[in-house]
Structures are given as C-alpha cells and as structure tokens.
Amino acid sequence: MRILLDLFNLSVYVPFWKADEEDIGRNIKHLKQYNWFQGYFTDSIYRDLIIQNKNVRQCIGRFNVNKLNKQPYQRRCQENLRKVLQKNGVGISS
C-alpha cells in the first residue's frame, strides 16, 4: 500500500517538474556530440529556438543524458525535440 501511495505522489508532481538552466546547459553541451542535434544547432532558425524558446529549452532540459547513449532513448529524444520545434513554428522535415 505504501508503494502505491508513493507512486501516486510521484505521478502528481512529475508533470510539473521544470528543468533549470543548469540542466538545460548541461544537456545542450552533451547533445552537441550527436549528429542529429548538430544539424539543428548549426541551422540559424533552429539554433535561435534552442537558445531562446522556453518550450524547446524545457524539452531539452528534461532529457536524461545518462540514457542518451541508448539508441531507443536517443530516438525518442530526437522525436520529442522535433515535435517541440514544429509546434513552435518551425517545420522540420524528417
């Protein structure tokens, strides 16, 4: 019963978790080693969104860099970032 209550409490707070600037900066630095992210970061439009857009930065800040070396998680992060960039006014072809 205690475990269920703990999981419920966690599920209530997790959606409201906001990444701070330290998380975002650390994740961007780590993501720069991946070709798919370099493609976004070298394009001036995408770079501006990555640097200035609150929603895009929050998305990046939530990535778990410890899992990025695993291909399924990396693909999921890439897709999430693509969706957030599209939602914020930039059409990215897949």
Angstrom distance (rounded) from CA 87 to CA 84: 5
Q: What is the pTM of this model?
A: 0.75
Angstrom distance (rounded) from CA 34 to CA 91: 21
pLDDT digits (tens, 9 = 90+) for 62-93: 999 999 999 999 999 999 999 999 899 655 55
Angstrom distance (rounded) from CA 4 to CA 10: 10
Residue 89, sorted as left (phi over 0), alpha (psi -120 to 50) or beta, turns out to be: left
pLDDT digits (tens, 9 = 90+) for 2-47: 666 665 655 554 455 678 899 999 999 999 999 999 999 999 999 9
